[in-house]
Structure 1
Amino acid sequence: MAVAATKDVNTELAFWKRVPDQMVEVDFTKARPEECMAVIKGLDEKHPVQIQDIRGREANFTLEQNGFQYVWHDMPEIDNAADPDCIKSTIIPQTEELVRQLTGATRTVTFTHRVRCFSADEAMLADNRAPAHSVHSDFTAVGALRFLESVMTGAEADRLLTNGRVLAINVWRPLKTIQRDPLAVCDWATVDWQQDRIANRLVLPGGWNELGKYAFHPGQQWYYLGGQQPQEALIFTQFDSQAISAGGKTVPHTAFMHPDSVDGPARESIEIKMFAFL
């Protein structure tokens, strides 16, 4: 199997500026979407970062220790990811089984998936199908608990949290060998979440969600897998109920510009997000 040569990348990532109280609320019910997005983009600031290629030492990084893990998972059906029926009937169930095997979960509940296939996309909100070039996590711990209650009933969510461990997991893989806009993840063990994390609460007509944004500090360690292939699934934590006192293990991640492929074809990838109950 031929893979790309190992190559660390020096590039810039879009972090957020540090703000008072580490909280920014954006109310989409009181302003136009483009105005809200301008507020969000206005907080971006770029910092130079080295992103290390872990090709050949993937086994050194685990979900428990670092918040992310690369797993070889051959799924021929991934070639049919353009077919919504195939995603629902085959790709999601096989991905859930992979997460159960990796984590020891007894139950998994997928709550969303997204195929990204554009280099840019006018839809800047939930349906955006272009790579997200900003350092973020899908939830804060508060946001994950809030979202869990929307997926399960409140009583059931309380029971699951009381009697066991709940993880929010993102399983990300390319549909073709990655060239342009690879995905980078930050080792959670190197995140000073109390200082770096900024809660971004989005108030929407149907309620609110709270994402994680992150300010830069030089101790953060960033990684990617050079030449990542469809069989190489990246699994990373977006919430861990066992780690709430340590920030919830909401691993920061972002697409980034690889200098060798800035003009390459648009990245094609699929991400599947689920709760896993241990």
Structure 2
Amino acid sequence: MSPTEGEPGIKASIRFLRNDNLYDTVKTYNLEFRSDEIPNSNAVPDRIDNVLVKNIRGHEQEFTFDQNGFAVLEMQTSLSYDDFADNSKIQHVYCQEVAACLLKYTGAATVQVFDVQIRRRHPDFPFPEVNFDITNQPALQAHIDASPEAVTGLIRSLNEPEKADQLIKGRFIYLNVWKPLKGPVREWPLAVCDASSVDPSDLRKHDTVFDPSTARENLMVHFNANQRWHYLSEQLPSELWVFRQWDSSGKPGVPHVSFELPRQANDPPGEPRESIEVRALLFFD
């Protein structure tokens, strides 16, 4: 059960990348496609129990994007729940609403939205083993969406060479905007880690391989007892998690992951979690 406002948090089980000397010389990866030639992944997860995840409900304003790497923003969308089944409305209405919200909050000069993901939890989630037939499920392992080098490459892939060169010379931020489609969220909420509590040695470069010729480099996370994890109890669709993945000024990204809320016998069943996340680049003059 989610703690109410004023309670310190809960003890949760969270999956991290296992601490193994192997990863000093071997880069971790996972495949997003079936292969009969190589294993699906060499990234061994390590389930850590009793991780304190503090509830920021009632204290949202104490956390800022600049200092902690994340913030909770209020934004009412003009789309209804059913509208989120229409990709055109998502792209031309919701993404524009998010972009305007980000510009107002951050003071950036421009914003470039480049990816949208909707996740609808399958009734059988979490699966005991890899299931390639069911995609876009809540993330089960702590991670950061992109390495610094991958962000620079992303800017180059999204823009003409001359423009990309100019953008990379200035300050830029890669961030994620996450919200539920239904609320309040009472199962598998998102947990975020205060960026200032992450040691660089906690992070490992990792390749997500989409097909034999396409990979994206992100960062997997080892557990460290000094990390400070947070979540927002009973999050509503009007409440946005906005969290940094990389800042060219050197500020680190925010590890994040979904986690299973402990339940009491008399708790009403929660609706399967449905969420939408928007990935965007902010550029500053």
Structure 1 gap segments, 5+ residues each: none
Alignment partners' CA distance in 2, 1:34 and 1:96: 42
Structure 1 pair 29/131, CA: closer, same or farther in 2 (3 Å)? closer
Structure 1 pair 13/121, CA: closer, same or farther in 2 (3 Å)? closer
- Give the helix-richer structure, 1 or 2: 1
Equivalent residue of 1:37, what SS? coil
8 Å contact kept, 2:179–2:241 = yes
Alignment partners' CA distance in 1, 2:177 and 2:38: 32
Equivalent residue of 2:79, what SS? helix
Alignment partners' CA distance in 2, 1:73 and 1:223: 21
Task: Give the TM-score normalised by the residue count of structure 1.
Answer: 0.87
Q: Deviations over 1:203-234 (max 9, x none)?
A: 54344311110101100000000010001111
Q: Deviations over 1:131-161 (max 9, x none)?
A: 0111001111122122222122343222112
Structure 2 gap segments, 5+ residues each: none
Which among 158, 166, 171 is matched to residue 165 of structure 1? Answer: 171
**C-alpha displacement at 1:182, in angstroms?**
0.1
Which among 88, 91, 110 is matched to residue 91 of structure 2? Answer: 88
**C-alpha displacement at 1:61, in angstroms?**
0.5
Structure 1 pair 155/29, CA: closer, same or farther in 2 (3 Å)? farther
More deviation in 18-27 or 56-65? 18-27
2:62 aligned partner: 60
8 Å contact kept, 1:117–1:129 = yes
Work out whether 1:249 is the aligned partner of 2:271: no
Work out whether 1:9 is the aligned partner of 2:16: no
Work out whether 1:275 is the aligned partner of 2:281: yes
Equivalent residue of 2:40, what SS? helix
Identity of aligned residues (%): 28
8 Å contact kept, 2:31–2:41 = no
Alignment partners' CA distance in 2, 1:116 and 1:104: 29
Structure 1 pair 266/22, CA: closer, same or farther in 2 (3 Å)? farther
Which among 108, 112, 136 is matched to residue 109 of structure 1? Answer: 112
1:150 aligned partner: 157
2:148 aligned partner: 141
What amino acid does structure 1 have at the position aligned with 2:205? A
Work out whether 1:71 is the aligned partner of 2:73: yes
**C-alpha displacement at 1:69, in angstroms?**
0.2
8 Å contact kept, 2:206–2:220 = yes
Aligned length: 267
Equivalent residue of 2:85, what SS? coil
**C-alpha displacement at 1:118, in angstroms?**
2.0
8 Å contact kept, 2:30–2:40 = no
**C-alpha displacement at 1:238, in angstroms?**
0.8
Work out whether 1:98 is the aligned partner of 2:101: yes
Q: Deviations over 1:84-120 (max 9, x none)?
A: 1210121000001111111111211111101111233
Structure 1 pair 265/207, CA: closer, same or farther in 2 (3 Å)? same
Equivalent residue of 2:216, what SS? strand
